[in-house]
A = this chain, B = another copy of it.
Amino acid sequence: MAAGCVIGVDLGGTKLLAGVVDSGLNVRHRAYRHARESGSTEALIALLVEAVEQARDAAGEEIRAVGFGIPSLVDAATGVAGTTVHLPLQDVPFRDLMAERLGVPVAVDNDANAAMVAEHRHGAARGARTAALLTLGTGIGGALLVDGRLVHGASGAAGEWGHMVVDLDGAPCHGSCPNRGCLETVVSGTALGKAGRRAAEDRPESGLGRALASGREITGALVTELAHDGDEVARDVLAAMGRHLGVGLANVVNILNPEVVVVGGGVLAAGDLLLEPARRTVAERALAPSRDQVRIVPTRFGDASGMIGAALLAMDLADGVSERAA
């Protein structure tokens, strides 16, 4: 890999993280923004440009390329964003538009695919031939790897584990997903906040209940914080979501028979409070021998997986590599 820095950008449903990454994978500078505040497509693009420029100014040297992980189905050939459940990016010619605005080569893929690239080449899925990744944030991002390569499907839309129905007649899904009972309706930061609010109302004596009474907004992050502080009701809420996650992961295990399933995203701040019940459910519900062979592990790079993966895609582009296996 040639020397010189790239910028990786991870755009989630609510947050944006841009980082200057050198050839040794050291992250030198970071820039954060709130994506949700952008509103329109044009405002969102402007926000992305601003974050990249801030990171580029901080780098103080030439940037070889910029890579983006975006929460969209991405057409690999054209770099056009397709269905985007949580942000106004649908049908935006993202790669060409950003290359024009930034004046450098631009690589783009789905945010979960970018995270998988980072985790597979250098992280929790290193060495795996068959793997899946789920990022639990506003919604669920997903990716899958077969024979050591990302699976994009017929048009770059593969890997949507979050839009796998686990509850036939469940609640309507979000945004541009027309389905009901998708995994992300029961497992996500959004779902955790909702479940936390219900528990706070049912159990006013709990830490969650007292937080509600004091006027705090019950978010997924607050449920996690109170659970880490020892609130049993908050822990129960996380355990229930962990069991639902386990049903989804049992499906992943039965469908793909992966060596490893990597789970990341903001909701993983809950750590084993979420992952342990999920692992137990996989052990109880998935088929042998797949259930006994799979490792279910958190991302190595935490919140930075998508950004580092996007940086790796930018390095591939700058190096003239069209696709790289592990």
A250 within 8 A of B: yes
Q: Which residues of the other chain, B, contact A147 by a CB distance below 8 angstroms?
A: 146-147, 149
Count class of interface residues, chain A: 35 or more
Residues in B whose Cβ lies below 8 Å from that of A319: none
* Chain B min CB distance to A218 (Å): 23
For residue A168, CB closer than 8 A to chain B, the reply is yes
Say yes or no: is A269 at the interface (Cβ < 8 Å to chain B). no
- A153 contacts which chain B residues (CB < 8 A)? 130, 256-258, 290
Which residues of B have CB within 8 Å of A177? 287
The residues of B that contact A251 with a CB separation of less than 8 Å are 164-165
Copy number of this protein in the oligomer?
A: 2
> A159 at the A/B interface (Cβ < 8 Å)?
yes
Instruction: Assess whether B161 is in contact with A151, with CB atoms less than 8 Å apart.
Output: no
State the CA gap A155–B152 with chains docked (Å): 22
Q: Kindly state whether residue A39 has any CB partner on chain B within 8 Å.
A: no
Q: Is residue A3 within 8 Å, beta carbon to beta carbon, of the partner chain?
A: no
Closest chain-B Cβ to A161's Cβ sits at a distance in Å of 6
Which chain B positions have C-beta within 8 A of A179? Answer: 250, 285-287
B160 touches A288 (CB 8 A): no
State which residues 60-89 of A face B: CB under 8 Å. Answer: 73, 82-83
Bound: A167/B167 CA distance, A: 4
B247–A168 contact, CB under 8 A? Answer: yes
**Chain B contacts of A154 at CB under 8 A?**
129-130, 257-259, 290, 293-294
Complex Cα distance A11/B163, Å? Answer: 34
User: Given the complex of chains A and B, what is the CA–CA distance between A177 and B288 in angstroms?
Assistant: 8
* Chain A residues numbered 253-310 whose CB sits less than 8 Å from any CB in chain B: 254-259, 284-290, 293-294
A40 to B316, CA, bound (A): 56
A-B contacts, 24 listed (Cβ < 8 Å): A82-B288, A82-B289, A83-B287, A83-B288, A83-B289, A130-B151, A142-B255, A151-B256, A154-B290, A154-B294, A157-B287, A157-B289, A160-B254, A160-B257, A163-B286, A165-B251, A165-B285, A166-B166, A167-B167, A168-B170, A178-B284, A178-B287, A179-B287, A255-B255
